[in-house]
Structure 1
């Protein structure tokens, strides 16, 4: 008797654990998606270490991170696809456009508001961002506890 080769493994795949009738599952999945979306956060940050720290802190706090964007263009694309409840927005981003411009796109097109987390929170920057109804400002360097606290408070606000 010959042993099956690795190329034959697709024929030996184990059956899935799915129930034969999964007609009830989509409704439960949709309800879970709505709950997840209410705690979904997009991170817009081009500093890899800060983005990773923010992602870890938000996940540990029970939020869902929909993605990490490094440019204004990526932020808009990800937000269109994932529909987060809010975005954590740095001002200085990779690419030609800054975080205020990205926040403007997100707000005008999707009604998505931002918590700005940046070292650039001067009067001029805040004035530029004001039309896009920021949910809050965190000045760098900030703690991960302050980030999760601001996100929690922002998501608890009535729309």
Structure 2
């Protein structure tokens, strides 16, 4: 199994950073950069080579590793492997929402790191190949149920063949949910796509969803408590 060529390390302990660098260097993996906080990581990802991110959960600053990973995945498709000293149920539940490619528990060995990275990168490569096939075969219309379809050509929702009048935000919400039909889309991802301001409250999103439900009560938008929303085909 192959290893990624360029890895970014996000870890706030200098000793652990160096240990990881040594492990990767001994396996001919290039470490593009090391960071200990979210802002520096986000800025650097705009310009450095990255095939995978090793992400510690506890990093410096107001944003932890899980929150940083959510932010990264709004823009990029990098596979992320989490490093954590916490194996409690609440932490694992948060991590699983992001469908990570792997976990490394502290303390770890060099063999564990390399094995985890190989498996994670193999999974990512297979997933990327499948995604490319799906994209090439993607239909122009997403069928929600026997009444509703969403057109990827006109970017409009149709009810029984007739275009449904929605405002820009309502239409964008339906578009995102349609493109991820039967999958839950998290609050942060929806807010990130719908508004430029990260400080938008969850209540603003709930109000938007309510407005769509009020207008289209039979459109199957499902709420997932503390997680997000999905559009379920029926």
Q: Do both proteins adopt the same fold according to a TM-score greater than 0.5, normalized to the shorter chain?
A: yes
Higher relative contact order (CA 8 A, sep 6+): 1
**Which of 68, 71, 79 is the aligned partner of 1:113?**
79
Q: Is it true that 1:94 corresponds to 2:43 in the alignment?
A: no
Q: Distance in 1 between matches of 2:24 and 2:104?
A: 15
* Aligned counterpart, 1:55: 21
TM-score by length of structure 2 reads 0.50
> What 5-or-longer segments of structure 1 have no aligned partner?
1-36
> What 5-or-longer segments of structure 2 have no aligned partner?
129-234
SS of equivalent to 2:46: helix
SS of equivalent to 2:34: strand
SS of equivalent to 2:108: coil
Structural RMSD (CA): 1.6
- Worse-matched range after superposition: 85-94 or 144-153: 144-153
SS of equivalent to 1:109: coil
Q: Distance in 2 between matches of 1:153 and 1:78?
A: 26
**Which of 57, 81, 106 is the aligned partner of 1:140?**
106
Flag as ranges the 4+ runs of structure 1 deviating above 3 A.
Answer: none
* Aligned counterpart, 2:95: 129
Query: Cα 1:76–1:121, aligned 2, differ >3 Å: closer, same or farther?
Result: farther
* Aligned counterpart, 1:69: 35
Q: What's the offset of the Cα at 1:58?
A: 0.5
SS of equivalent to 1:96: coil
Count of residue correspondences: 123
Query: Cα 1:86–1:48, aligned 2, differ >3 Å: closer, same or farther?
Result: same
- Worse-matched range after superposition: 96-105 or 145-154: 145-154
* Aligned counterpart, 2:217: none
SS of equivalent to 2:57: coil
Q: Which structure is higher in strand share? A: 2
Q: What's the offset of the Cα at 1:99?
A: 0.4
Q: Distance in 2 between matches of 1:130 and 1:81?
A: 28
* Aligned counterpart, 2:121: 155
Q: Distance in 2 between matches of 1:79 and 1:63?
A: 18
Q: What's the offset of the Cα at 1:38?
A: 4.5
**Which of 33, 37, 40 is the aligned partner of 2:6?**
40
Q: Deviations over 1:27-71 (max 9, x none)?
A: xxxxxxxxxx95211100000000001011101111111100100
Q: Which structure is higher in helix share? A: 1
